[in-house]
Chains A and B, each alone.
Chain A
Amino acid sequence: MSKALRILVPVKRVIDYAIKPRINKAGTGVEKTGVKFSMNPFDDIAVEEAVRIRESHKKLVENIHAVSIGPAKAQDILRTALAKGADTCTLIDAKEAELEPLAVAKLLKQVVTKQNANLVILGKQSIDDDCNNTGQMLAGMLNWPQATNAAKVEVDESSMTAKVTREIDGGEETVSAPLPLVITTDLRLNQPRYATLPNLMKAKKKPMEKLTLADFADVSTEPRLEVLKLEEPPTRSAGEKVATVDELIEKLKAVKAI
């Protein structure tokens, strides 16, 4: 295998992290009209990491390719990815369909093959459904090693291996694996850069391949899960002020907290 890295970065368009999602009137999903959408923050970190790998291994990285599966407006976040450093990108127009992680992983597998990618960096989860499945499923289907929840990534050029520090409960774990590899990103990995004006302009000229789900006829994107109902969490009732410790204890006892 010639020494070259072809990085694939899948990115998802989600309701902006700073916006509080609201359940629609029918109770079947989240209200999407008039809401700001942005790139999934974990994917933003994935793009940044790919760009940083290129910055520290100038000759090694042949291409950074971003891919998004979603509505036509996902173009916006692909442009952002291009402005932040991706070279090329693919939009797989899924219209308004909500794909489950398995379908996404199957689609991505084909993109990996097509792009001949040997490193996939993606967010550990998207902040809309919080599944945390796609990276793992993709690695399984490709039969590649996986390093999830990455907090630090070091690529060793000579051996074509990656050393990844992972966030685990109560500490860190460092794993090493040969490429090809799937890495999912955690928050501490890096701080994404801003898209600069010159790069935003250049991004407009970078190629964007447009596909639809019909181009992946052999992949079933039918949902396997059915959403029965969505509910807001119960609102917290207002607190109560007490004048003395005794009163506090009495109240706590009354609600059987002590």
Chain B
Amino acid sequence: MLRNTVKRHLKNFSRAKTGPGAVFWSKNGSGLRIKPMSMAQVATYSTKIPPRLTAESYPSVQRLTQFKKLSPEDMTFFQSILSGSEILQATADEDLALFNEDWMRKYKGQSKLVLRPKSVEQVSQILKYCNDQKLAVVPQGGNTGLVGGSVPVFDEIVLSLTQLNKIRDFDPVSGILKCDAGVILENADSYLAEHGYIFPMDLGAKGSCHVGGIVATNAGGLRLLRYGSLHGTVLGLEVVLPNGKVLNSMNALRKDNTGYDLKQMFIGSEGTIGVVTGVSILTPPRPKAVNVSFLGVGSYEGVQKVFVQAKQELSEILSAFEFMDLKSQKLAKQHLKDVAHPLEDEYPFYVLIETSGSNKEHDDAKLEAFLEKAMDDGTVLDGVVAQDETELRNLWEWRESIPESSQAGGGVYKYDVSLPLKDLYSLVEAANERLAEKGLLGDSDATKPVISAVGYGHVGDGNLHLNVAVREYSKEVEKALEPFVYEFVSSKNGSISAEHGLGFQKKNYIGYSKNEQEVAMIKQLKNLYDPNAILNPYKYV
């Protein structure tokens, strides 16, 4: 059938485009892969300098001497419980870069060993052994994290959940999905689609990230506005504790009011007190009618106004409300090159609205009425509405390709913060002012380190992404931004990490969002369940 050969203007344009220096997405579970091309080519897409060892970039972080170094006896043990394909060792021409580097290529660990178990039993044996032997371990999912939380800092063993990737069970009546931690989000969603259900969260890295990973990091994503956070949708977890014991609440029910809700402790723990191996999650029915509109708006005040109107007029069918500033779309335009932007003229702000419902006529009528009103009173200056599925995906691509576009010029400093809505965009303005003041900003001046500081994010959740696109990572830029950004957020009573977590990048800044008592309790819990601190060391706890 020709259906499969019809390639319209922009189908899959960004991820499939394989020009020099393209970033390759792999669906087979190995996560975001960066093809080992010649250095010159690599330099065109990512950092101009290949990633430096985290240990060199941050000399103040020292390897803890309490951890044992990997010995041949340890290898003998691992070989006794794992097969050849489950063990990857560093060799002269294989530095395990895929597991040692984060996808922004900002951090680089020095692990010599990657374990990829296929069963929970193996995970348990590995952790018990490492705990007894005091070998440090970094649990790793799709390695799509943005704060350096899933890569080793020194010689920690990487425990990759890639091969623990089976769907365990799905109940089409209740909509409860049970699966291994290593199932790729997109695969889980495709599986659910066949049964008329949808995974209650979605994010740009869906083709690589793992279900276990998003739970362990409490990722937010694009549908939080509609389906709420994972703290609500996750019904149960299977977690292997550092001592090898398995905490199993997979048979969880929607209502279970019997004491402490232990699973919550692991959602967002970032692999510091246990390794998530199984997830039981409540999935909602897949919406039958989805509509997307992409709008041009004159000011940030306008964006807020459209948001209020959208909530009132679209109410239950509103499933995403994303905003982007002009600079972010300029970067996306450069990155997507030949693709025409949905809107002919430029506007200071853009808004993407998605509606999801069960009745197309009903949804269309609502969306139409809302857009007409917003257009008539001048809040919306121009806009387009997707007429088919391809257009719909392409409109989303203009939002989802911003992270990749910000990175394309060399590198990117990412800040993911929660702020009160009225102050949301002021951080981007303040950051731009500061960078200009320090003489670091130059969008066409190649001698300046910073290309552009752009803002976009989930207005619906009060979540802003400040991306500072740079030509190369430098201490100078980092010093201008940190702790400036965190202080700014703290002064507005925001959170320094809305959905990315703390990881390595923000490990010293937890105090801006959590008070002393909270930090103390986190430390107590960590000491209680991971007394040897073998799990994900050098990170935020």
Contact = CB atoms under 8 A, between A and B. Distances in A.
Contact of A39 (B1, B295, B388): B388
Interface string B391-403: 1010100000000
A17 B1 contact: no
B382 interface: yes
B388 A16 contact: yes
B359 to A, nearest CB: 11
Interface stretch (A100-108, A188-196, A218-226): A188-196
Contacts of B7: 187
Contact of B385 (A17, A39, A77, A200): A200
A234 to B, nearest CB: 14
B387 A187 contact: no
A197 B2 contact: no
A20 to B, nearest CB: 9
Interface in B143-194: none
Contact of B288 (A34, A42, A187): A34
Contacts of A39: 387-388
B42 interface: no
B78 to A, nearest CB: 21
A63 interface: no
Given A195-B387, A197-B382, A18 B2 contact: no
Nearest to A194: B384
A38 B382 contact: no
B195 to A, nearest CB: 13
Contacts of B387: 38-39, 44, 77, 80, 83-84, 194-195
A198 B375 contact: yes
Interface string B97-108: 000000000000
Contact of A18 (B360, B371, B382, B388): B388
Contacts of B383: 196-197
A128 B7 CA distance: 15
B478 interface: no
Nearest to A188: B7
A130 B384 CA distance: 30
B380 A130 contact: no
B380 A197 contact: yes
B386 interface: yes
Contact of A41 (B6, B288, B295, B368): B6
B342 interface: yes
Nearest to A197: B383
B102 to A, nearest CB: 29
Interface residues of B, number: 34
Nearest to B371: A197
Contacts, number: 86
B473 to A, nearest CB: 37
A41 B342 contact: no
A127 B389 contact: no
B288 A38 contact: no
A42 B386 CA distance: 17
Name the residue among A17, A39, A192, A197 with the largest chain B CB count within 10 angstroms: A197
A195 B292 CA distance: 12
A137 to B, nearest CB: 19
B8 interface: yes
A196 B382 contact: yes
A211 interface: no
Contacts of B343: 196
B389 A18 contact: yes
A19 B375 CA distance: 31
B1 A16 contact: no
B372 interface: yes
A161 to B, nearest CB: 29
Given A41-B390, A192-B9, A194-B342, A21 B3 contact: yes
B2 A130 contact: yes
Contacts of B380: 197
Contacts of A83: 387
A195 B384 contact: yes
A19 B3 CA distance: 10
Nearest to A204: B368
A198 B382 contact: yes
Contacts of A194: 294, 342, 384-387, 391, 395
Given A130-B1, A187-B6, A187-B7, A17 B390 contact: yes
A42 B5 CA distance: 12
B64 interface: no
A36 interface: yes
A191 B375 CA distance: 26
A125 interface: yes
B8 A196 contact: no
A201 interface: yes
Contacts of A36: 289, 360, 388-389
B375 A201 contact: yes
B340 interface: yes
B9 A191 contact: yes
Interface in A176-196: 187, 191-196
Contacts of B295: 197
Contacts of A200: 368, 371, 385
Interface of A: 16-19, 21, 34, 36, 38-39, 41-42, 44, 77, 80, 83-84, 125, 127, 130, 187, 191-198, 200-201
Q: What are the 8 A-B residue pairs with the smallest beta carbon separation, nearest first? A: A38-B388, A18-B389, A194-B384, A191-B9, A197-B383, A16-B389, A80-B387, A127-B3
22 contacts: A17-B3, A17-B389, A17-B390, A38-B387, A39-B387, A41-B6, A41-B8, A77-B387, A84-B387, A127-B2, A187-B7, A191-B8, A194-B342, A194-B386, A195-B384, A196-B343, A197-B295, A197-B382, A198-B382, A200-B368, A200-B385, A201-B375
Given A41-B6, A44-B387, A201-B372, 11 more contacts: A17-B388, A34-B288, A36-B388, A38-B388, A127-B3, A130-B1, A194-B294, A196-B383, A197-B293, A197-B380, A197-B384
